[in-house]
Structure 1
Amino acid sequence: METMIGTIMTVAFDYAPQGWALCNGQLLQIQSNQALYSLLGTTYGGDGKTTFALPDLRGRTVVGSQAPPKSGITPVARGKAVGVQSVTVMATGSTSAQIGIANLPQTVTGTAQINGIGATSTLYATTSGPGATIPPGSGAVLSDSGAGPTSAAIYYTNPTPAVALPAVPLSDDSVKTVIGGTASFGGGQIGSAAPAPLEVKSTTSTTMSVVQPSLGLTYIICTNGYYPPKD
Structure 2
Amino acid sequence: MQPIIGDIHLFGFNFGQEGWALCQGQLMAIQDNTALYSLIGTQYGGDGRSSFGIPDLRGRVPLGTGNPPGGSQWPMGRDAGAETCVIQESQMPTHSHPANFSSQSSLFGTTEPADLTTPETGAVLANVVAGGTGADKPEKIYTVTTANPVTLGGLDVTGEVQVGNAGNSSLFSLLQPCLAVSYAIATEGVYPNRS
TM-score between both structures, scaled by the size of structure 1 = 0.56
Confirm or deny: 8 A CA contact 1:23 1:58 kept in the other structure: yes
Residue 96 of structure 1 and its aligned partner are, at CA, apart by 5.4
Structure 1, unaligned runs of 5 or more: 116-183, 191-197
**Residue number in structure 2 paired with 1:75:** 73
> Which amino acid in the other structure matches residue 103 of structure 2?
G
**Residue number in structure 2 paired with 1:58:** 58
**Residue number in structure 2 paired with 1:108:** 122
Residue 216 of structure 1 and its aligned partner are, at CA, apart by 0.8
Q: Which has the higher strand share?
A: 1
> Which amino acid in the other structure matches residue 43 of structure 1?
Q
Aligned equivalents of 2:5, 2:121: Cα separation in 1: 87
Structure 2, unaligned runs of 5 or more: 107-119, 131-141, 152-160
Residue 35 of structure 1 and its aligned partner are, at CA, apart by 1.0
> Which amino acid in the other structure matches residue 85 of structure 1?
E
**Residue number in structure 2 paired with 1:84:** 82
Aligned equivalents of 1:57, 1:218: Cα separation in 2: 8
Confirm or deny: 8 A CA contact 1:107 1:189 kept in the other structure: no
Confirm or deny: 8 A CA contact 1:23 1:54 kept in the other structure: yes
- Aligned residue for 2:35, secondary structure, equals helix
> Which amino acid in the other structure matches residue 100 of structure 1?
S
**Residue number in structure 2 paired with 1:3:** 3
CA 1:189–1:62 in 2, change beyond 3 Å: closer, same or farther? farther
CA 1:186–1:60 in 2, change beyond 3 Å: closer, same or farther? same
TM-score between both structures, scaled by the size of structure 2 = 0.65
Confirm or deny: 8 A CA contact 1:108 1:189 kept in the other structure: no
CA 1:230–1:99 in 2, change beyond 3 Å: closer, same or farther? same
Aligned equivalents of 1:107, 1:224: Cα separation in 2: 94
- Aligned residue for 2:171, secondary structure, equals strand
Higher relative contact order (CA 8 A, sep 6+): 1
Aligned equivalents of 1:107, 1:35: Cα separation in 2: 94
User: How do 1:18-33 residues align onto structure 2 when only pairs under 5 Å count?
Assistant: 18-33=18-33
Confirm or deny: 8 A CA contact 2:122 2:144 kept in the other structure: no
What are the superposed Cα offsets for residues 90-123 of structure 1, whole Å, 9 maximum, x if unpaired? 56855555563349xx9423468879xxxxxxxx
Aligned-CA RMSD value: 3.3
CA 1:60–1:186 in 2, change beyond 3 Å: closer, same or farther? same
CA 1:97–1:107 in 2, change beyond 3 Å: closer, same or farther? farther
Residue among 169, 192, 195 paired with 1:228: 192
What are the superposed Cα offsets for residues 41-88 of structure 1, whole Å, 9 maximum, x if unpaired? 1100111111111100000111110232xx223231110012222222
**Residue number in structure 2 paired with 1:180:** none
Confirm or deny: 8 A CA contact 2:84 2:171 kept in the other structure: yes
Confirm or deny: 8 A CA contact 1:64 1:76 kept in the other structure: yes
Aligned equivalents of 2:20, 2:121: Cα separation in 1: 84
CA 1:18–1:107 in 2, change beyond 3 Å: closer, same or farther? farther
What percentage of aligned pairs have identical amino acids? 36
Confirm or deny: 8 A CA contact 1:93 1:203 kept in the other structure: no
Residue 202 in 1 paired to residue 126 in 2? no
Confirm or deny: 8 A CA contact 1:93 1:201 kept in the other structure: no
Residue 215 in 1 paired to residue 179 in 2? yes
